[in-house]
Chain A
Amino acid sequence: MTDLTGSTPKTFASLRNLDGWSLAALAAALLVTFPIVTVFVLAVAPDTPVFGHLASTVLPRYLRTTAGLMLGVGIGTAVLGVATAWLVTMYRFPGVQLFQWALLLPLAIPAYVIAFIYTEILDFSGPMQTGMRAFYGWHGPRDYWFPEIRSLGGAISMMTLVLYPYVYLLARAAFLEQAAGVIEASRTLGRGPWRTFFSVSLPLARPAIVIGISLALMETLNDFGTVDFFAVQTLTLGLYDVWRNMNSLAGAAQIACIVLLIVIVLIMAERYARRSQRYFNTTRRLNPSPPTQLSPMRSAIACTVCVVPVALGFLLPVIWLIYDALLYRELAETEIFLSAAANSLMLSSLAAVIAVMIAIILAYGARLRGGALLKVATRLANVGYAVPGAVLAIGVLIPMAWFDNSIDSFFRDRFGVATGLLLSGTIVALTFGYVVRFLALALGAMEVSLARVTPSIDGAARTLGAGPGRRLLRVHLPIVRGSMLAAVILVFVDGMKELPMTIVMRPFNFETLATQVHQYSANERFAQAAPAALGIVLVGLLPVILLSRAIGRRRESLAPPVPGIATAVEQG
């Protein structure tokens, strides 16, 4: 979305010779862009002066808290993700092969779930403080100081624990990809392993790490469950407050646009900071250095660094969930629970497959003939990930209902038959919402991996008589199969956790595991939420393990399944 006016002639040029592929791509791009455009339109709608009230009262605090939260989660996920990725990629120590995939596990746990578990554990009457009081002989809360979990710091910790895997995933892929040569060159130029890490490996992995962090931050920005629970006053919390209590959807949309603006400014600032650098290797020789065996002492440290996030971000919460779920296991045997599980599976799989298909159409269409219109629409489609889900849901709802009602009117006028709502309030609509929300995950992966299929491969296929469709099916897709799998899995796992859109858009009598969790956790009946939460985690587990095995195989095949997941996003 850099230069709209300047590229108009190109748009027309591309419109003049549209083929089926670019037409499909353009249609898909416009379709998924509709909801985001709708949010923009809502924001400019004339409305009561809510914004003035906000600006003079709570908005500065929302902004401060949001900045603090993003800073904290940004640093937290970066440190945790990069450190663990570096350790398991470059070193050998006991358990390293286990950690390579186990470090991804927290991805399967929704932030709001981990938030309520840690509140139980760390609260005054939780096992932690109770134990400390028994040990030290304290009595009341005024006898000692204990960090408050329901705080900004608490929210940062919770989100870091479940979001660092994005950074880990991408940083690891980047580290695996780095040619050994540059690292060795740095060593011979007098820089030890640590300084080499900071002056060479880290800067080289920077684009990937930035994408990982931006994914984590976008999730942070649109999180409502955790910040609401911890009473951390972020922009998103304010957004719901304005919408709910001041009955101002426009005000909410305005805040959503501020959120988007923040994302775009951050991304552009980062890109500006490395504007002249290019990050592909000057060498084609990919020769990853063999991992170094660590001494027992260092192994112990490395193990600890890897154990902590897995234990805190996965093991402990899951054990807690199992305990609570057993308490209320009859809830898992109800018909509603089973259908909720089936619905979650179906929706997430559908959304994952469709999102990846759309991503392929967009990425491949852009490759065949990238017009400016398609480019802008694609970039816009990406930022949907940063819009709080409920607002985006309204963005989907309005144009879709308009479509349904227009058809209905048409049929009423012409044939005297009412068609009613064809799509609104159906699974079709909800699936579409998921696709819009999670497209960024799929699109980034597909764009980057398709870009790695060199033009000469295209050329070779063309001279052998393969048209665009055959090239895609027989050449591109087999080559990028790994990335495709990764994209499907990421969307799937996020889909399992999706809550706000489902709540706004779901059909009658329709539950997912996430709405089941919400039903109870909204009233802080955590133990009753546990069976459904455990369901989300367990269903999300399998793909996470698959994903990590796919990355593991990369080393041999050198066909990276998870390249920059959202360079598309970062080009936003």
Chain B
Amino acid sequence: MGLGLEHIRHAYGDHLVFPDFSFDIAAGEIVCLLGPSGCGKTTLLRIAAGLERQQAGRVRLAERIVSDDTRHLPPEARNVGLMFQDYALFPHLDVAGNVAFGLAHLSAADRAARVAETLAQVGMGDRAKAFPHTLSGGQQQRVALARALAPKPAVMLLDEPFSGLDQYIRIQVREETLSILKESGVATLLVTHHPEEGMFMADRILVMGPTGRVLQEGTPNEVYSAPAHPYVASFFGQINRIEGVAQGGRVETVLGAVPVPGWADGCRVEIVFRDDAIDLNPTGTAGCPIEIVDARTLGRYSFVKFRAKQDDKQAVFRCRVPGTLAASPSQDIRAAIRPEDAFVYRMDDFREP
């Protein structure tokens, strides 16, 4: 086992960050903590690293209790690799010096060898003598990764590792980082508010709500395709919501019926569906009649805003359809939810995320 947090409780003054938080990471596993800004993800990372001390609960590292009510191992004694959101490279040391920083326990020769090895691993072997301020963002990220990995930590902690990079190189760096982490086989906890990043990197995802509770835990596929909470669903893309009442095993909506087999009649529900869970039918054959509010094409996709004609509330829905929407306002366009892609929640269960 790599890292275990048990019943962690932490507060800043009156502000309770998380009341009771637990999870485990197995050796070699990459776990992503996904949550909105300010939900306490980074605090959790700092508690795992020992930079902050939780108010209650235990931290285990490789079967050893490193922090509980009675003891607290300082970060330097924990053998964790922490990669900071801003990389926190030492500006007074060159690349090799940064990577060698955590290798003080090795002999000079071993240290040099390990530095060379790690730098080669991240593809920075030729920049060993460069100083951080001369590097691009992507290069700095790789040096930070190498620095954290070089001491062969028991667990790697990555704090928003790609947020400082622009869209274009982010994808490339993400792939490289994943392969390096997989290659080194280190248990990894990654913290991000970027669902796509989590999906890409993680073996397992923990989704945190804004109040610091874990809303769902599962494989990327599970949390995407079966979000346990409307908030989780909302995390992975644009969503639409419709409220309704179960009646005879189904819920009638302005965009068609959604089956809820076995649910009690009169049960109030919320139906959540992503923008790609709507079939748009320009020829007026199936679905409910709608009125287009706005349509923008992005080439491969078009984003469409519409209202349902029979909707008393005149709610605006958003959907994404392949290609360009070729429809004139006068046309009879119809839309329908794809029931298999809609998520239905009991409203009584999920007042607040």
Contacts and interface: CB of A to CB of B under 8 A. Distances in A.
Direct A–B touching, Cβ under 8 Å: yes
Interface of A: 179, 181-182, 184-193, 195-196, 199-200, 203-204, 206, 274, 276-285
A181 B84 contact: yes
Contact of A203 (B51, B86, B92, B104): B92
Contacts, number: 104
Contacts of A204: 90-92
Contacts of B234: none
Interface in B122-148: 131-133, 140, 147-148
Interface of B: 46, 49-51, 74-82, 84-94, 101-102, 104-105, 131-133, 140, 147-148, 151, 157
B132 to A, nearest CB: 5
Nearest to A199: B101
A182 B147 contact: no
A188 B92 contact: no
Contacts of A192: 74, 76-77
A206 B91 CA distance: 12
A179 B89 CA distance: 11
A181 B76 contact: no
B92 A184 contact: no
Contacts of A184: 46, 49, 51, 75, 82, 84, 88
Given A278-B133, A282-B132, A189 B74 contact: no
Given A190-B76, A276-B131, A285-B85, 6 more contacts: A184-B84, A186-B101, A188-B50, A188-B51, A189-B102, A282-B89
A211 B90 CA distance: 21
A188 B91 contact: no
A462 B105 CA distance: 55
A193 to B, nearest CB: 8
B76 A283 contact: no
Nearest to A287: B86
16 contacts: A182-B89, A184-B46, A184-B51, A184-B82, A187-B50, A187-B75, A189-B81, A190-B79, A199-B101, A200-B90, A203-B93, A204-B92, A278-B91, A279-B91, A280-B133, A283-B87
B74 A283 contact: no
Contacts of A281: 91
A184 B105 CA distance: 19
Contacts of B82: 184-185, 188
Given A277-B92, A281-B91, A187 B84 contact: no
A200 B84 CA distance: 16
Contacts of A278: 91, 131, 133
B186 to A, nearest CB: 14
Contacts of A188: 49-51, 75-76, 78, 80-82, 148, 157
A206 B105 CA distance: 25
Contacts of B147: 185, 189
A282 B87 contact: yes
Nearest to A289: B51
A346 B330 CA distance: 86
B237 to A, nearest CB: 29
Nearest to A179: B88
Contact of B76 (A187, A203, A277): A187
Query: What are the 10 A-B residue pairs with the smallest beta carbon separation, nearest first?
Result: A181-B88, A189-B102, A283-B86, A187-B75, A188-B82, A185-B88, A203-B92, A282-B132, A192-B76, A182-B88
